[in-house]
Amino acid sequence: MTTDKVWGDYPVYYKQPVRWFKYHAHTKPHFVWAIGLGLAAPLLLAISPIRRKYLYADHDPIPKVYPLPTRARDTNLTGFDDE
């Protein structure tokens, strides 16, 4: 009985690192993407302050309450429980 190999022989990391990477990128792409995103995380954290300083600042936060006026209440109002 012969076994059909999907992507050749398993390469040895220390002897053929490029071939080892290509092998795992083909057979286990989820691992390669996870490692790539994990290595990119410190770079993305470093970019955020640079973006705030040179490109654009963060947006204004959305108000969570209605702003109340800073004046005395008008006593001439009528209706809506003001009677």
Higher pLDDT: 12 or 34? It is 34
Closest by Cα among 19, 23, 31 to 7: 23
Residue 34 has pLDDT above 90, yes or no: yes
What is the distance between the alpha carbons of residues 76 and 83, in angstroms, rounded to a whole number?
A: 10
What per-residue confidence (pLDDT) applies to 4? 59
Position 37 scores a pLDDT of 92
The structural domains of the chain, with segments of one domain joined by +, span 29-58
- Split at pLDDT 50, 70, 90, the class of 75 is confident
Flag whether pLDDT at 28 surpasses 80.
yes
Indicate the pLDDT class of residue 12, thresholds 50, 70 and 90.
confident
